[in-house]
Amino acid sequence: MLEISNLHATVADKPILNGVSLHVPAGEVHAIMGPNGSGKSTLAYVLAGRPGYEVSEGGVSFDGKDLLAMEPHERAAAGLFLGFQYPVEIPGISYLQFLRESLNSQRRSRGEPELSAGDFIKVAREQAALLGMDAEMLKRPVNVGFSGGEKKRAEMVQMGILNPRFAVLDETDSGLDIDALKSVGAGINRIMRAPGKGVLLITHYQRLLDYVEPDKVHVLNTGRIVRSGGPELAKELEREGYAEASV
């Protein structure tokens, strides 16, 4: 489903990714772990097409198509979703407006009919309820005044509404308490655990993987994958740290 081949990338002319190769088949969840500065967020941003992140070598295939040849909005329309470590605030526009326009924009690009305001609000309320979030919060400006846990829950509501085919989740567990962690983990499993979907879950810690068990765990360090294994690798990293895993 997602095939990353010898990917090199720079930020402000500084090399960050140094030959990442990774295959995530449909129906699987893969976790990437690694220390600060290892290139985890850079990988997420390169996949999403964030400006300023330049690919100097290698390639990425998504469902057999050249992902790097697509504009960011085309990647989203193709079914790629990026969950931010620090979701941004957008004053002046309500979450409901933002989500409806996002969904209908993607539906238009696929030749599907747009959802009416009434149908959309019904979907939004259903998704909010499944995440334990008061739907009234979606009337507020995007993420403005939200706590860390509320921002991540709202992002899971967004993922549920957009229903992507592949999710790249960049440290979704950052800033979450235990209850929010359980809720977000349940949301990931509910929305993305399906035969035709895939997840690349980027995290520092094993704790989220207690709720979203990965099929494989990869260690990213100095801009490349230095080790891969099963779910037990995450527990080993929690005990021994990244130095041993990078040997």
Could you tell me the CATH number of the domain that includes residue 218?
3.40.50.300
Residue pair 201/212 in contact by the 8 Å Cβ criterion: yes
In the numeric block, the tokens 């960050």 are attached to 16
DSSP string, 121-136: HHHHHHHHHHTT--GG
Residue pair 198/62 in contact by the 8 Å Cβ criterion: no
What is the pLDDT at residue 3? Answer: 96
With 0-12 CB in 10 A as exposed, 13-18 as middle and 19+ as buried, what is 118?
exposed
What is the pLDDT at residue 244? Answer: 61
What is the pLDDT at residue 246? Answer: 55
What is the pLDDT at residue 247? Answer: 47
Q: How far apart, in whole angstroms, are the C-alpha atoms of residue 42 and residue 10? A: 9
What is the pLDDT at residue 130? Answer: 87
Residue pair 137/150 in contact by the 8 Å Cβ criterion: yes
**Number of structural domains, the chain?**
1
As a dihedral over the C-alpha atoms of residue 220, residue 226, residue 231, residue 233, rounded to 10 degrees, the angle is: -110
Instruction: pLDDT tens for the chain, 247 residues: list them.
Output: 999 999 999 999 999 999 999 999 999 999 999 988 889 999 999 999 999 999 999 999 999 999 999 999 999 999 999 998 888 899 999 999 999 999 999 999 889 999 999 999 999 999 999 888 888 889 999 999 888 888 888 888 999 999 999 999 998 887 778 888 888 888 899 999 999 999 999 988 888 898 999 999 999 999 999 999 999 999 898 888 877 655 4
Per the structure, the complete domain to which residue 55 belongs is given by 2-245
Q: How far apart, in whole angstroms, are the C-alpha atoms of residue 44 and residue 37? A: 13
